Structure formats: C-alpha cells, structure tokens
Structure 1
Amino acid sequence: MALGAPAPPVRAAGSRLTGAAYGSDVTDSINFLTNPPEFVGLQNAVQSIPNATWTALTLDAEQLDSYNGHSTSTNTSRYVAQVAGWYTVCGVYATAANATGFRAARIQVNGSPVLGAAAYAPVASGTVEMGVVTPTRSIQLAVNDFVEVAGYQSSGGALNTVLDIDMRTGLWVRFSRAI
C-alpha cells in the first residue's frame, strides 16, 4: 500500500465539512505530521567486511520503524521508503581495530552511492576500534526506493564490524518534507 504525505484539501466554494471530509482533511494530516516515517536500525550481529569492497551493512535490530520500511529477516541492510519525499539520512560503520589502510562509510540509494554522502578516515592505530560516520544528507526518495549505509576497508583482509555498547553500525532515516 503506497502512502502519501497529506496535501491541502481542495473544496468547492460553499461545500460543508462532513465527518468523512474532516477525517481525511484534518485528522489524517495531523496523524501524519505527528508520526512521520522514521527509522533507526542497528547491528546486533557481527558482519565480516571483505577487503577493498563496498559492502551494504546489515541491520538486524530496530529501535524505531514507524512505517514498516525495514525487515530484520530479508534485505536487512535496506530501509524502503513507504512515502515519497525528502528524507534526512545518516549512517555509521563501526569497525574492528587494525593498523592497515583506511575505513570509509557512505549512503547508497538503490545500491548506488549518493554524491557527497561518503566519509573516509585514516586508521589512527591498530589498537582502537573506530566508527566512520557519513555526512547527514537530505535525499529524495520515491516509494520503494531503498537507502543503505555501506562500509569499506582496506586492511588487506576481511575485518569484522564491532558491537560495542556505545558504538555500533547503524542507519537513521527521517521523513523531512513532501516532494
């Protein structure tokens, strides 16, 4: 079922506000504005990230998914837009300690990178886990477009994500406005 952001009603001059019209014109709009599409997904299981390959990061736990745009069992890296519009999106890639190469995170829409939505970080030391946070971006999504956070590492071998209590791979998506 495709949902939509409420639009201002158009009524003929002199028409009366019936109960049904009130429900669709007023109540539905207030309900949408007080409960817009919003998603917070996190990783609760370690994921192995191959060397030198952009990899969509799995999100097997939800803190919030107000419009059921995410599944914890199928395509778990994806948040699928249920309402067309502009969304504010940010992600983080939390990676195990390793002294070689660099780490990066980016936002992807339908598997393709979003221009200006990647962050690269040199490794500070081989003893510290690190999180790479994408820039927060406004991204236009159509219904059924999907957004992901992807990670990249160049250590020379596979590296796991980490599950610290204060740092974890995640994705945040919030509807900002209609198109």
Structure 2
Amino acid sequence: MANLPVPTLASEISGNFFTAALARAGIYNAGTFLLNPPLFVGTQGTTQSVTSSSWTALTLDTEQVDSYGGHSTSSNTSRYIAQVAGVYAVCGVASWASSATGVRGTRLHVNGSVVQGSAQMTLPSGDSGSAIATPVRTVRLAAGDYVEVAGWQSSGGALATTVTTDVACALWVCWSGT
C-alpha cells in the first residue's frame, strides 16, 4: 500500500450515525497510513570518488526500502524526494577508504542546504577506513523537497568511499508526523 496520503479525520456532526464510510475515513485510513508511513533506506553499492575539501552528495544506488517511491537508482541517485509532506527523522553515513591524511566528515542536506547540527567530523583511522554517521535530525519537508547525505574529506586528493558487507554510505528517512 504505497503512496497513501496523510489521512484527514472525518468531521463528526451531531446526529450523524456511525457508518462504514465514517469508520473508513476516521479509523481505517488513519490506521493504514500509520502502519505504512513513508520510509526509505538506501545504500551505496558502488564506490564513489570524492574531491578533497568539497562537500559532495553521496550516491545511493541500492534501495533496501522505498515504500513511497521517493528515490531513483538512475536519476539524482543521491536524493530522497518526499512524496508526503510532514516531519521526517533522517540519518546518513559516509564510509571512507583508508588514508591517514586529512579529516573526514558527513552531514545532511535538504534541498541542497545544510541541516544545522547534522555535521560530524573525525580524523581518519589510518590503516583501515572510517565510517561516520550523522546524528538523527528531525526535518520538516513539503512534498517535492529532497534530502541527501554529503561527505567531505581533506586528504589532499580524491578519496573513494567504501562498500563492504557491513559498512557503506547510506541514508535513512522515516516520516514521523505532520
């Protein structure tokens, strides 16, 4: 049951009888939507080269869940586009190849602008790569707004993201209310 609208509860008027239509509008539609809210989990299945000292939207070419069809694996693959207006919980991860030079970071963007308080920065771990998650942030999206996870690194040259069985760049988006 994808792409259900946010239900509007039926207006009760004094003297109305409780009908099947009223039950559907007031209970069934709301319950169905709340049991099937917009949810997206996308990951990177192919590594990406990221230029030094430049925030870069990370591509997500694999979908674990996309209950409302807000993501494309062929066009603007870094974006989840809200199909339903509301408040969303959002979190992202940047996963980096090994390099002992510079700093690594990740943050969230809404319509290309940074989500305040979402950036995380760390020094590289040296021999092994690093993965950096943003904190979960709550953002208000109109239908058509988009969310991205972006990565930043300062190794002095291009640095690849990594994809392993348990770590990859990712974006998680879940509708949480109106």
Normalized against structure 2, the TM-score is what? Answer: 0.94
Q: Could you tell me how far apart the structure 1 residues matched to 2:75 and 2:25 are?
A: 34
Say whether the 8 Å CA contact 1:3–1:82 is kept in structure 2. Answer: no
Q: Could you tell me how far apart the structure 2 residues matched to 1:69 and 1:23 are?
A: 26
Q: Could you tell me how far apart the structure 2 residues matched to 1:59 and 1:34 are?
A: 26
SS of equivalent residue, structure 1 residue 87: strand
SS of equivalent residue, structure 2 residue 117: strand
Q: Could you tell me how far apart the structure 2 residues matched to 1:45 and 1:16 are?
A: 58
Residue in 2 that maps onto 1:44? 45
SS of equivalent residue, structure 1 residue 117: coil
* 1:7 CA displacement: 3.2
Residue in 2 that maps onto 1:19? 20
Residue in 2 that maps onto 1:155? 155
* 1:10 CA displacement: 1.1
How many residues of Structure 1 are paired with residues of Structure 2 in the alignment? 176
1:143–1:3 CA distance, 2 compared to 1 (3 A):
farther
* 1:28 CA displacement: 1.1
1:44-68: CA deviations, max 9, x gaps?
Answer: 0111111111100000010001111
Residue in 2 that maps onto 1:139? 139
Residue in 2 that maps onto 1:169? 169
Q: Could you tell me how far apart the structure 1 residues matched to 2:75 and 2:153 are?
A: 25
* 1:3 CA displacement: 5.6
- Unpaired runs of 5+ residues, structure 1, are none
Q: Could you tell me how far apart the structure 2 residues matched to 1:73 and 1:22 are?
A: 41
* 1:177 CA displacement: 1.0
Q: Runs of at least 4 residues of structure 1 off by over 6 A?
A: none
| 2:85 is the counterpart of 1:92 | no
- Unpaired runs of 5+ residues, structure 2, are none
| 2:121 is the counterpart of 1:106 | no
Normalized against structure 1, the TM-score is what? Answer: 0.94
Q: Could you tell me how far apart the structure 2 residues matched to 1:158 and 1:151 are?
A: 12
SS of equivalent residue, structure 1 residue 7: coil
Root-mean-square deviation (CA), in Å?
1.3
Residue in 1 that maps onto 2:81? 80
Q: Could you tell me how far apart the structure 1 residues matched to 2:124 and 2:170 are?
A: 20
1:13-58: CA deviations, max 9, x gaps?
Answer: 1112333333222211111010111110000011111111110000
